[in-house]
Chain A
Amino acid sequence: AQSVTQLDSHVSVSEGTPVLLRCNYSSSYSPSLFWYVQHPNKGLQLLLKYTSAATLVKGINGFEAEFKKSETSFHLTKPSAHMSDAAEYFCVVNTNAGKSTFGDGTTLTVKP
């Protein structure tokens, strides 16, 4: 069985300040982990992925995430938020068996 917990349903930051979106997972197997972003009324777009290579993963638009096996975490960070980062973010865990489990999502608000 696998599960994903996004620890914050809403995060609000000021433009130019750091972003931290937290994700914890559980999986019976060594998982692949992903972050996807969904802008309002849009589909989902891949931000970054972890597939057992480097534990610090860099994605698009300045986002990165660090896989910490001991903490079963895959938190998403960005040094400086931009207004265009306002969106909903989903942490996802996949197994080789084809099951994919999404977290409930974190809505990021960026204040001017």
Chain B
Amino acid sequence: EAQVTQNPRYLITVTGKKLTVTCSQNMNHEYMSWYRQDPGLGLRQIYYSMNVEVTDKGDVPEGYKVSRKEKRNFPLILESPSPNQTSLYFCASSFYLPRTASGANVLTFGAGSRLTVL
């Protein structure tokens, strides 16, 4: 089954304790992205990656790191989590095609990871 898998789905941690949220896709997608969802703010893009070893900042990258060493994996790293990073996180992926193609940039989302930082 084609899917984006995030782990963990739920995590409660404490300030300053490094954590990694993993994201893996089995669709051979070039493009992967991380978002955080907060009430009333929609989804905000944290980082994205156009392909292996190519990453770029989204709108809210502060406090996060990413890496893209393999095409299928795009982990999100919180080196020193703080309470303001308590949120619902989504990973998504897509093929990277010219925008005129019918399937251009249609994102497939993971189920979400709910993170609480105390």
Task: List residues 29-52 of chain A with CB under 8 A from any CB of chain B.
Answer: 30-32, 34, 36, 42-46, 49, 51-52
A90 with B43: in contact, given A43-B111, A51-B100, A51-B104 (CB under 8 Å)? Answer: yes
Interface of chain B, main secondary structure:
loop
> Are B58 and A99 in contact (CB-based, < 8 A)?
yes
> Are A98 and B42 in contact (CB-based, < 8 A)?
no
Q: Which one of A13-21, A70-78, A101-109 contacts B?
A: A101-109
Chain B residues, CB < 8 A from A101: 45, 59
Task: List residues 4-54 of chain B with CB under 8 A from any CB of chain A.
Answer: 31, 33, 35, 40-45, 48, 50
How many chain A residues touch B (CB < 8 A): the figure is: 27
- A32: contacting residue among B31, B50, B104, B112, CB under 8 A: B104
B74 within 8 A of A: no
Chain B residues, CB < 8 A from A36: 107
> Are A34 and B56 in contact (CB-based, < 8 A)?
no
A23 to chain B, nearest CB (A): 12
Q: Which of B90, B100, B107, B112 has the most C-beta atoms of chain A within 10 angstroms of its own C-beta?
A: B107
A9–B93 Cα distance when bound, in Å, is: 27
A53–B112 Cα distance when bound, in Å, is: 32
> Are A46 and B106 in contact (CB-based, < 8 A)?
yes
B110 within 8 A of A: yes
- B42: contacting residue among A31, A53, A103, CB under 8 A: A103
A106–B95 Cα distance when bound, in Å, is: 27
> Are A51 and B102 in contact (CB-based, < 8 A)?
yes
A9–B40 Cα distance when bound, in Å, is: 8
> Are A43 and B102 in contact (CB-based, < 8 A)?
no
> Are B109 and A34 in contact (CB-based, < 8 A)?
no
> Are B111 and A98 in contact (CB-based, < 8 A)?
no
| A-to-B contact residues, CB < 8 Å | 6, 9, 30-32, 34, 36, 42-46, 49, 51-53, 90, 94, 96, 98-105
Known: A45-B109, A49-B106. 18 other contacts (CB 8 A): A30-B99, A32-B105, A43-B110, A49-B104, A52-B100, A53-B102, A90-B42, A98-B31, A98-B50, A98-B96, A99-B45, A100-B33, A100-B45, A100-B105, A102-B35, A102-B43, A102-B45, A104-B42
